[in-house]
């Protein structure tokens, strides 16, 4: 089985999963958080180097204030519960997205977790927070134009150079995107970076996407690589 170096996941279906059993959406988010731990541990065991998770999109601010408050409390819950384990397993936390509008309390927790785990080198767990791909691309263009104006970058721009202006520039190419809960959309997630990635969609809700399901997705990825290996672009 060929293991992808970098997997990205759209963790959809927490609310739907909760509703199906007459529980509040927050219960779905809570179970979804537990599952982030399970999948991160499993990915690390399998030898994945980077796992990027879409935790909060720029669109999510449109949700009810109560739900946003709950979502913003999740990083603290997660870190309180799992930081020791992340340290033990050598997992480093990073974020992409604009942290500026994130509540101060949440930001503090995030920055501390990033700092505490910065020397861990087995796997990087990247949370996309207040992330939107078009915004990332436009920000990158603006930074590039500034560099050109300051004579710090050559003109014209190339693909290779532009990638340095994306927030994912330090990470390897994304080999595999997984989206749970059966919506066939990218929802403004890593549009540039997913150009050549394998896409895997499953009807399983995120809280039920187990380690075995991750292995299934990787097996499918591995088979596609074998079938098309070398011949595809
Ligand atoms: C809710 C399902 C982990 C999707 C998973 C702020 C939506 C659970 C984190 C997390 C969220 C983020 C940063 C960090 C540690 C943990 C998280 C949010 C939502 C939004 F340093 N899960 N998770 N953050 N969900």
Here the CATH number for the domain that contains residue 106 is: 3.40.1180.10
Note if 12 is an active site residue.
yes
Say how many Å lie between the CA of residue 33 and the centre of ligand 1.
Answer: 6
Q: 60 catalytic, yes or no? A: yes
Question: Ligand 1: which residue has its CA nearest to atom 3?
Answer: 33
In a domain, 163, yes or no: no
Domain contains 164: no
Residue 144: half-sphere exposure toward Cβ, Cα within 13 Å: 19
How far away, in angstroms, is 165 Cα from ligand 1 center?
Answer: 25
pLDDT in tens, 4-59: 999 999 999 999 999 999 999 999 999 999 999 999 999 999 999 999 999 999 99
Q: How many domains does the chain have?
A: 1
| Stated pTM of the model | 0.97
Residue 36 belongs to what domain range? 6-132+172-222
Alpha helices in 14-64 (DSSP H): 14-20, 25-46
Whether residue 131 is predicted with pLDDT greater than 90 in this model: the reply is yes
Q: Is residue 139 part of a domain?
A: no
Among residues 49, 12, 62, 8, the alpha carbon closest in space to that of 190 is found at: 8
Name the active-site residue from 60, 120, 139, 188.
60
Which ligand 1 atom lies nearest to the CA of residue 14? 2
């Amino acid at each position: 089985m060929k293991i992808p170096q970098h997997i990205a996941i759209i963790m959809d279906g927490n609310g739907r999963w909760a509703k199906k059993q007459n529980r509040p959406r927050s219960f779905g988010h809570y179970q979804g958080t537990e599952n982030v731990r399970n999948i991160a541990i499993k990915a690390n065991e399998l030898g994945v180097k980077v796992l990027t998770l879409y935790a909060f999109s720029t669109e999510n601010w449109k949700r009810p204030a109560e739900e946003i408050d709950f979502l913003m409390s999740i990083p603290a819950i997660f870190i309180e519960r799992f930081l020791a384990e992340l340290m033990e397993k050598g997992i480093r936390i990073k974020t992409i997205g604009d942290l500026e509008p994130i509540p101060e309390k949440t930001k503090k927790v995030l920055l501390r977790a990033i700092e505490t785990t910065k020397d861990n080198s087995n796997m990087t767990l990247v949370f996309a927070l207040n992330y939107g791909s078009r915004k990332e691309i436009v920000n990158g263009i603006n930074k590039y134009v500034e560099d050109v104006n300051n004579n710090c970058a050559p003109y014209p721009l190339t693909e290779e150079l532009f990638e340095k202006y994306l927030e994912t520039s330090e990470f390897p190419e994304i080999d595999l995107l997984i989206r749970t809960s059966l919506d066939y959309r990218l929802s403004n997630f890593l549009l540039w970076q997913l150009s050549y990635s394998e896409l895997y969609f499953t009807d399983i809700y995120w809280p039920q996407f187990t380690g075995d399901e991750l292995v299934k997705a990787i097996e499918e990825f591995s088979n596609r690589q074998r079938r098309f290996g070398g011949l595809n672009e």
